[in-house]
Amino acid sequence: MTVFGMVSAVAGLIKIRYLVDKAMIDNMVFRTHYRLTSAILFVSCIIVTANNLIGYPIQCIHDRVNHPHVINTFCWITYTFTLPHEQGKHIGTEVAHPGLGNENQDKTYHSYYQWVPFMLFFQGVMFYVPHWIWKNWEQGKVRMITEGLRGSLVGGREEREGRQNRLVQYLIETMHLHNTYAFGYFLCEALNFVNVIINIIMTDKFLGGTFMTYGTEVIRFSNTDQENRTDPMVSIFPRVTKCTFTKFGPSGTIQKHDALCVLALNILNEKIYIFLWFWFILVAFLSGLAICYSAAVILLPNTRETILKRRFRFGAPNSVDTIIRRTQVGDFLLLHLLGQNMNLMVFGEILDELVRRLNFGSNSNLPSAPSTLEMSPIYPEIEKYGDSGSEGTTTTIW
């Protein structure tokens, strides 16, 4: 399978679907975790396993070994090493390559390159897990109750009004029953933030404690004098290392063979991890902002009022005040998710109807609406649908 084919298989994580086909059950920061970040990590995993991009991942030079592929295999499955005290010396006069020289010094061993693909794949799965938890917690509720109302205005006015009345009736009958639903969402949002912090720490441990300062070192390197600078990417991801291979000689004595090994794979690893350093920092920052936003929604009614007025352009003061006073956090989260799945005009009509029923009750000269138990017939796919059209699978609305 070609590299392009494997990458195309991952492209589904960042696919763009029409709003009418798929309900959105989270925010943009949430989607950055399980779509963009997971896709980046999976694609990176594919790239580092595609040997045809760089040739052999390791090639060792030794004149006295008849089968060089034996040393290549041995050094790949064991380890290679560099000498940290030889870093920063002038190449060609003091050392042959960065980090190589007299072995009577402390050595830095490198064996991480065996595990890079597995590590990247595992991290990609980790970034998808909070979404998987929320999708199963959410159980396709938003998709079912917005069926026929998402996206652009479609269908006849009578049909749309009927769906809107049934949705409002559902909101009235389930008022104050969505706090557990909201708890699951906020929990998974917190898991996103914790997950990215864990990934930063885990990557730092994986690379021997060098990842935390990797990005700042690269920035400092790019701003220093070209004649007197040490590339941190070369010291962390050396391109030429040493390997010691021992075997028995003709008389049974142990012979020691030193080989220089070219780690061509590190030319990819250094670029991947410098990108991941900046990306993880960005995602952690955005996740922190998302948690602060959610905390404001939970703790500050003024924030919910601002969202209704600015985000959804629902500006009638008395109506906004009614919604804020009569709803709880779980109810507001559901309204927020409904609003981002609907046309603003349709959502405004639903909020107006909801306010009227909250103020005057369901029997104040309003058209009668069926019970929420009768909502199923207006959604032809409510009994059975897959992940291709929803964010979960369920057979009930509440």
The per-residue pLDDT for range 40-95, each reduced to its tens digit, is 999 999 988 876 566 678 888 876 666 667 888 888 888 787 777 677 676 666 67
**CB-based burial label for 277 (10 Å; 0-12, 13-18, 19+):** buried
Alpha carbon distance 263, 56 (integer Å) = 9
Percent of the chain scoring above 90 in pLDDT: 35
Report the range out of 76-90, 179-193, 254-268 with the highest average pLDDT. Answer: 179-193
> How confident is the model over 101-115, as a mean pLDDT?
75
Predicted confidence at residue 376, as pLDDT, reads 41
Structure tokens at 363: 């029997």
pLDDT in tens, 316-342: 778 889 899 999 999 999 999 999 888
> How confident is the model over 218-247, as a mean pLDDT?
74
Q: Whole-number mean pLDDT of the chain?
A: 79
Task: State pTM to two decimals.
Answer: 0.79
Q: Per-domain residue ranges for the chain? A: 3-378
Element (H, E) at 82: strand 80-82
Q: What is the 3-state secondary structure (H, E, C) of 226-277?
A: HHHCCCHHHHHCCCEEEEEEEEECCCCCEEEEEEEEECCCHHHHHHHHHHHH
Predicted confidence at residue 50, as pLDDT, reads 77
pLDDT in tens, 117-167: 999 999 999 999 999 999 999 998 998 988 878 766 556 677 878 888 899
> How confident is the model over 372-392, as a mean pLDDT?
39
Write phi, then psi, for 374 (nearest 5 degrees).
Answer: -100, 10
Predicted confidence at residue 72, as pLDDT, reads 83
CB atoms within 10 A of CB 178: 22
Q: Which amino acid is at 375?
A: M
